[in-house]
Structure 1
Amino acid sequence: MSCLVRILVTGAAGFIGSTVTDRLLADGHSVVGVDDLSTGRLANLTAAAADPRFSFEQLDVTSPELLALADRVRPEVVAHLAAQIDVRVSVADPLRDARQNVLGTINVLEASRLAGTSKVIHTSSGGSIYGSPARLPVDETAPVAPESPYAAGKAAGELYLNVYRATHGLASTALALANVYGPRQDPHGEAGVVAIFGTAMLAGRPAKIFGDGTASRDYVFVGDVAEAFARVLPVDAAAGSRLNIGTGVETSVRELHSRIAAIIGAPDTPLRAPARPGELARIALAVGLAERLVGWRPEVDLDAGLARTVAWLRRQTVAAA
């Protein structure tokens, strides 16, 4: 594989997918973005669309049309980010979740195989696939123990990576992401607590905490995630491995609220609501393997990342006014 490659990015119009797309283009690669625009936004691809090395196709990754597209494009690498991302949706409608996250991943792998793709980079979920581990931060040797349909679907995707590697020789790396936040995160859905809290506070509304506020997450900045994708592009980079992509630091939901309120200058007085099914009490990811194999480590600490995210949310508020 040459240093500069042709990459197909699924979920390219999403929050993470568009950030990864921008990073790959900045590195000089050619990118074909795919998104069904059910949750992704073309506005996220404004910068990419101005680059002659970028093109976009609107389609669902479960569609047979993906095979024809891959056959035409012949990507050297596929970065698979398209997904149903909400744990609560997966609990309410596990069939929908499986269609998107399991069948969609199989379709991506099959399209990659038939197109002669060298490597697939799969987006897994370090924030959910380990369930409730006995020790934190959890590393990649811990057993996979899903506690939601969403987590089960992400774990199944990794199993299919193994099948395609063993059966067809298709190289792959799974990036098990912690809770990703940053500019472009959607504040209007159920996922993305940083954007939800920030948007509510900027509008002068109280934000809502589900449960007693002690639930903890490992929050990783989206720019650091894009760096991880860039580092695993080569076929032999962490081939056959799952890499945790997080910070190793737990932050409770209550503390997160306080930090965002301090940045905005808003009251630190959240509303309370009952805890929701399928959500874990605690998680944080050990990331030593990513550093050892590809030299990746998180660079943006939480306060700096929150400040950058709030600044972006402010700009969206002004633009919408």
Structure 2
Amino acid sequence: MKVLVTGGAGFIGSHVVDQLIADNWQVVVVDNLSTGRKHYVHPSAKFYACDITSDELEHVFAQEKPDAVIHQAAQIDVRQSMIAPLRDATVNIVGTVRLLECALAHHVQKFIYASSAAVYGMPLGEFIEESHQTLPLSCYGISKHTPEQYIRVLSEQYGMDYTILRYANVYGERQELTGEGGVILSFIQKMLMNIPPAIYGDGLQTRDFIHVEDVAAANVAALRHGAREVLNVATNRSLSINDLVELLNEMMSMRIEPVYLPAREGDIRHSCLNNHKAREVLKWEPQVSLHRGLNQTIQYVRSKMSIAHS
């Protein structure tokens, strides 16, 4: 069986490719390298430097004829989505529809889509289930949610199976140190430079942090499970930003106090996704403990910083 992975040179996509190859799948990677890195692509995968919005995508499908698609390519910067909503929509909405057209034309059996907790908007309770209302607070949230509807309607129309995975806050190795980069990576980098990390608000806001290896495993599991399902990929546990800084200080044997800045308008106070449905449907559960995941990420940032300074 052959799987085409979009964004397979990126943070999450490259981990998905690694796990697929470890499980003996044939893998084709499509990535325009705007944020991905060619050296992240597993040497056993076939690579196409291609944009998902381009006509070239059709040629890749015609050449490779994949059995399944795992769609990770996206514009992921929330702030950029508000500054340049048209570009955000072009990549995330138009790009996904383009991919769907190719998948349907070439009789792809299964389509797996990387969605986001951003589709939910402001949580109405402590744990967000998949049935929670979808009222995004950002253009990014809109552009991740809209393709879900295209996938559902077109798959029902043409008989293609799909699984939609809504990710919590993903962190880990290969995440970029520049740009938004995730709060965990940003904090580690600053603390290693002896710079106090900035917390917006009182630090009591909570997030559900899941390691990239567990997210990749959920994608691989979705190739065989989760017919026409929407599933949260999360740890089902929340951690406050204050506790995150405390934990990083402890793990790195430091004592750096954060600086507190005014809360950002529109920031969600508490976010924790219920993962019970994914556990049941995908026969999957997170394997990477927070301690192990943070330790691996600290080592990754240290090595990246030492290379940058050498």
Q: TM-score, normalised by structure 2?
A: 0.96
- Please tell me whether residue 78 in structure 1 is matched to residue 69 in structure 2: yes
Aligned residue among 17, 34, 39 for 1:38: 34
In 2, Cα distance between equivalents of 1:266 and 1:14: 31
Distance 1:94 1:211, change over 3 A: farther
Q: Could you say which residue in structure 2 is the equivalent of 1:245? A: 233
Unaligned runs of 5+ in 2: none
How far has the Cα of 1:228 moved from its partner? 0.4
Q: Could you say which residue in structure 2 is the equivalent of 1:307? A: 295
Q: Could you say which residue in structure 1 is the equivalent of 2:57? A: 66
The within-5 A match list for 1:1-321 is 5-45=1-41, 48-49=42-43, 51=44, 54-126=45-117, 128-234=118-224, 237-320=225-308, 321=310
Q: Which residue identity does 2:187 align to in structure 1? A: F
Shifted more, 265-274 versus 31-40: the winner is 265-274
Cα deviations across residues 117-155 of structure 1 (Å, max 9, x unaligned)? 1111000002x1111122121111212121111111111
How far has the Cα of 1:277 moved from its partner? 4.2
In 1, Cα distance between equivalents of 2:249 and 2:52: 38
In 1, Cα distance between equivalents of 2:94 and 2:82: 17
Shifted more, 240-249 versus 264-273: the winner is 264-273
SS in 2 for 1:220: strand
Shifted more, 278-287 versus 154-163: the winner is 278-287
SS in 2 for 1:242: strand
How far has the Cα of 1:181 moved from its partner? 0.6
Q: Could you tell me whether the CA contact under 8 Å between 1:84 and 1:97 is conserved in 2?
A: yes
Cα deviations across residues 186-242 of structure 1 (Å, max 9, x unaligned)? 1211131111111111122222222332222100011111110111112xx211111
In 1, Cα distance between equivalents of 2:283 and 2:139: 32
SS in 2 for 1:201: helix
In 2, Cα distance between equivalents of 1:102 and 1:172: 17
Unaligned runs of 5+ in 1: none
How far has the Cα of 1:300 moved from its partner? 1.5
How far has the Cα of 1:280 moved from its partner? 1.8
Shifted more, 5-14 versus 190-199: the winner is 190-199
How far has the Cα of 1:98 moved from its partner? 0.7
Q: Could you tell me whether the CA contact under 8 Å between 2:194 and 2:256 is conserved in 1?
A: no
Distance 1:275 1:63, change over 3 A: farther
Identity %, equivalent residues: 38
In 2, Cα distance between equivalents of 1:133 and 1:206: 30
Shifted more, 5-14 versus 59-68: the winner is 59-68
In 2, Cα distance between equivalents of 1:214 and 1:261: 17
Q: Which residue identity does 2:254 align to in structure 1? A: A
Corresponding residue pairs, total: 309
Shifted more, 304-313 versus 9-18: the winner is 304-313
In 2, Cα distance between equivalents of 1:97 and 1:222: 23
How far has the Cα of 1:183 moved from its partner? 0.8
Cα deviations across residues 1-20 of structure 1 (Å, max 9, x unaligned)? xxxx1111001111101011
SS in 1 for 2:119: coil
In 2, Cα distance between equivalents of 1:62 and 1:257: 40
In 1, Cα distance between equivalents of 2:254 and 2:33: 33
SS in 1 for 2:154: helix
Q: TM-score, normalised by structure 1?
A: 0.92
Q: Could you tell me whether the CA contact under 8 Å between 2:231 and 2:275 is conserved in 1?
A: yes
In 2, Cα distance between equivalents of 1:268 and 1:119: 48
In 2, Cα distance between equivalents of 1:270 and 1:60: 40
Q: Could you tell me whether the CA contact under 8 Å between 2:191 and 2:256 is conserved in 1?
A: no
Q: Could you tell me whether the CA contact under 8 Å between 2:127 and 2:273 is conserved in 1?
A: yes
